[in-house]
Structure 1
């Protein structure tokens, strides 16, 4: 299977290094264009069928996120290439969209490209691929509307993925390398990522890690007591222990949360 790719980056060194890495390690990835700006990329997307876009974030005039509406129209997978930006990375992680930190590590590049190849091969169905891409890009756009806060999260599981509004989440439990999301209406989802990753994604959005195995949504906090150790009660009537080492941080987080 061949994949038509477009590289979008304003830095010549970044463009050329990625071009040579792909050429050396992925002969199935055919570079159909190299753009120095979002405006140039738009023009190319109108004339060339592109399956995958390697997209820089920080560029003059328009950043890479401005290309999202155009990518939705053409159903292209996107892998962002970026220098570190904690808020942008949190939005990308929450939306389950791949990214590569500069300078690009070859192993991370391989993992990202192989993932796209598997998705195209496994799905086969063009409409399903289109729906998946649009859902991910929509969730990313919503998360970017307030860059410091996550609104939606994309949970990968054994049958694909599910996009949730974070207000639906009551609490999250660790289960080895997986995480179990407990939701409103007695629903639950087993997500294929470690609890630590979700802590990083959700920590500025009204969530608190109260135990090594538990994250709670403060929106669903109904009561807490320190009568026999610190215990929290949530909107589904479940009760959870706050570990002693996390109790001070939890109480400070609660005070700040309910100030707003």
Structure 2
């Protein structure tokens, strides 16, 4: 049986999580709970869990400070937070699941199911946590993005992304080395975090790396030609602002 621990400073909320786990995940054992950084460190070291449910804000600090005491990271993490702030951005860069408070049962069970599935392909979270702390601390030395598929975790350099294509709740990343990586998240998950790295959305279905644009072809309404030869359409609504951005480079 896989072990899960709950790091949450509100006792009533911990009871809610335990109830949801008991109702939906009989294969998981709740192996302990803690409400602050110091007790959480001791608990995780003692129990060696497979999954950690981790509230970001704790009594005596936050979960990022907690993680700095826990190397190596041989467990999957699901973050829980009441605030949609800079911490969420760091989490998105690292492909961790997160749940917003107040917790919705569907979102909760979906995130836990994802973590259980991830244990089969990549039980270690080492690369994810390193990238998370890098972005959270603002150093961004790595310039990397973690992409999670059902089979693997990919740690890629952001400047190697040519463009992204949206297909409803899926996004395909096209890399400069010709690789394609399909992830089961919508493009809106990535637009905000990649805009600071020179990405722009010329069309509802595409996000492009401006630094990898080869030319703008103005025929047939206009399209972008990327360095890898891909042709990306430009919507008429977005065309003026897109051209203004390019002229400002």
TM-score, L = length of structure 2 = 0.83
2:12, 2:171 → 1: CA distance? 39
- Residue 191 of structure 2 corresponds to 199
1:75-95 C-alpha deviation (Å, 9 max, x unpaired): 121111111324322322332
2:244, 2:88 → 1: CA distance? 26
**1:1-260 equivalent positions in 2, closer than 5 A:** 2-120=1-119, 122-123=120-121, 128-130=122-124, 133-146=125-138, 151-157=143-149, 159-175=151-167, 177-224=169-216, 226=218, 229-254=221-246, 258=249
1:32, 1:219 → 2: CA distance? 48
2:33, 2:169 → 1: CA distance? 38
Could you tell which deviates more after superposition, 218-227 or 205-214?
218-227
| Structure 2 gap ranges (5+) | none
1:24, 1:158 → 2: CA distance? 25
Would the alpha carbon gap of residues 118 and 228 (structure 1) be closer, same or farther in structure 2, given more than 3 Å must change?
Answer: closer
Give 1:148 deviation, angstroms.
9.9
Larger % of helix: which?
A: 1
1:17, 1:150 → 2: CA distance? 37
Would the alpha carbon gap of residues 117 and 84 (structure 1) be closer, same or farther in structure 2, given more than 3 Å must change?
Answer: same
SS of 2:29 mapped into structure 1: strand
Q: Would you say the 8 A contact 1:207–1:215 is kept in 2?
A: yes
Give 1:169 deviation, angstroms.
0.4
2:9, 2:244 → 1: CA distance? 43
1:46, 1:175 → 2: CA distance? 41
Give 1:225 deviation, angstroms.
6.2
Q: Would you say the 8 A contact 1:224–1:230 is kept in 2?
A: yes
1:177-220 C-alpha deviation (Å, 9 max, x unpaired): 53332212333333333333332442333211101222111222
2:74, 2:147 → 1: CA distance? 20
